[in-house]
Amino acid sequence: MAPAKRAIDTHSLLSSRIGGLLGLGLMLGLGACGGDDSAAGPPAAPVTKAEVDGASPWMTPPSVKTVERDGADLVISGLGDPGGRVVLRTPVGRAYAAVADARGVFAVRLTAADGLVLTPEAQLGQDTVPAAGRMVILDSQVGTAAILSPGEASRRLGPAPALAAVDHDGRAVILSGRSDPDSTIRIDMPGRGPLQVRAESSGTWRVTLDGGVPSEVQVNGQAFALPGLATAGQSEANSAVAVLTREDGYLLQWQAPDGAPQTTWLPRR
């Protein structure tokens, strides 16, 4: 006896196939709508770590303003990003850090030795933004230091005379100092006519000269005898700063990041 044939419900089969086709069409229609950027709006920007932490995604290099002695420590303070981390790093990688307050004011405490070179940096995670200049501690006992920046006048921190710095790169000479804000400074040099320059609102002033370094500079009648500021080229960039301490001031030999030799003279009072 032959086995009975199973009846096939063609109506149910047809209905399921139609339902599947309708479902597929609906999915394709939704996919087409989802791919329309104008309907969905622009894609969301990636969230940075700084935004997650509630900080600004942009970092500003810190600016050192003062160096003061406090007991056995040297306190280096200045301005940075509010709530940002500030690091003072040595050429060999040792770091001294502090967090700026809500106003952006930071204060880093360290035990410093004369001749210590520090690069101020803003730090966020593994990212750092260094300041343009390097700081050199000249006298850790009284809190005297200088900020060295290629192509710029060296900035003295602590006591400084009317002529604060003389910078030379073998081509140009920059004379700079401090005076009353918006005051007029008279500068006299042998073999050159008198010059007049107006101080900025901060009291700082600078004059750029072509040619060699003068042997003497008078600032508002106060005379300063300058040593020879010969620049010696070196084969590669060096992060070190050679400091020669003399009775009449500090003579610094250093290099720009591109290896160009620089010489700075910082007179005493």
For the chain, which residues make up each domain, given as ranges?
A: 59-148, 160-269
What integer pLDDT is reported at residue 165 of this predicted model?
96
User: Cα separation of 197 and 163, whole Å?
Assistant: 13
What integer pLDDT is reported at residue 238 of this predicted model?
61
59-148 homologous superfamily: Immunoglobulins (2.60.40.10)
pLDDT per position in the chain (269 positions), as tens? 444 433 334 344 334 433 443 343 323 333 333 333 333 333 333 333 343 344 445 889 999 999 999 998 999 999 999 999 999 999 998 999 999 999 999 999 998 889 999 999 999 988 999 998 999 999 998 889 999 999 899 999 988 999 999 999 888 899 999 999 999 999 999 888 799 999 999 999 999 998 788 889 999 999 999 987 776 654 445 668 999 999 999 999 998 888 889 999 999 87
Burial 141-166, CB ≥16 within 10 A → b, else e: eebbbbbbebeebbbbbbebbbbbbb
User: Cα separation of 220 and 249, whole Å?
Assistant: 19
Q: What is the DSSP string of 27-51?
A: HHHHHHHHT-HHHH-SPPPPPPHHH
Alpha-helix runs per DSSP H in the chain: 10-34, 37-40, 49-53
Report if pTM > 0.85.
no
Q: SS3 for 13?
A: helix
What integer pLDDT is reported at residue 54 of this predicted model?
45
User: Cα separation of 69 and 138, whole Å?
Assistant: 13
Which distant-in-sequence residues (6+ apart) come within 8 Å of 69 by Cβ? 75, 140, 141, 142, 143
Q: Which residue from 134, 132, 158 is spatially nearest to 145, judged by alpha carbons?
A: 158
Question: Angle at Cα 214 formed by Cα 258 and Cα 205, nearest 5°?
Answer: 70
| Topology at the third CATH level for domain 160-269 | Immunoglobulin-like (2.60.40)
The neighbour count for residue 80, using CB atoms within 10 Å, is 28
Q: How many residues does the structure list for the chain?
A: 269
Contact 257, 223 (CB under 8 A): no
Query: Are the folds of 59-148 and 160-269 the same?
Result: yes
Q: SS3 for 4?
A: coil
User: Cα separation of 34 and 2, whole Å?
Assistant: 56
Alpha-helix runs per DSSP H in 62-132: none
Q: SS3 for 23?
A: helix
Q: Token digits for 30?
A: 């939704």
Contact 166, 265 (CB under 8 A): yes
